[in-house]
Amino acid sequence: MKLLLDRCGEEVKITAEVVEAAAANKNSGEMVMELLLDRCGEEVKITAEVVEAATANNKEMMKLLLEQASTRRIPQSFHC
């Protein structure tokens, strides 16, 4: 993903499916999600499906998304 973003930059469209896959990825999902959030900013939408995928993943993924709660729009059901 880093290579793709490095080489194609703004040409890469980050879809909901990409964000969901990162949230569900138990091997390198945290790293990919951090990269997406850092490099793609507001293009990364945290949807209910992303929250569900993160919930099934691990605590660290949920922590990463919770840290985003104060700066981006996320589903109301996710707010503490």
User: Is residue 65 packed enough to be buried (19+ CB in 10 Å), middle (13-18) or exposed (0-12)?
Assistant: buried
pLDDT over threshold 60, residue 76? no
Query: Looking at per-residue confidence, does 62 or 6 come out higher?
Result: 62
pLDDT tens-digit series, residues 10-64: 788 888 999 999 999 999 999 999 999 888 877 888 888 998 999 899 889 988 8
Q: How many other CB atoms sit within 10 Å of the CB of residue 22?
A: 26
Look up the pTM and report it.
Answer: 0.77
pLDDT over threshold 90, residue 3? no
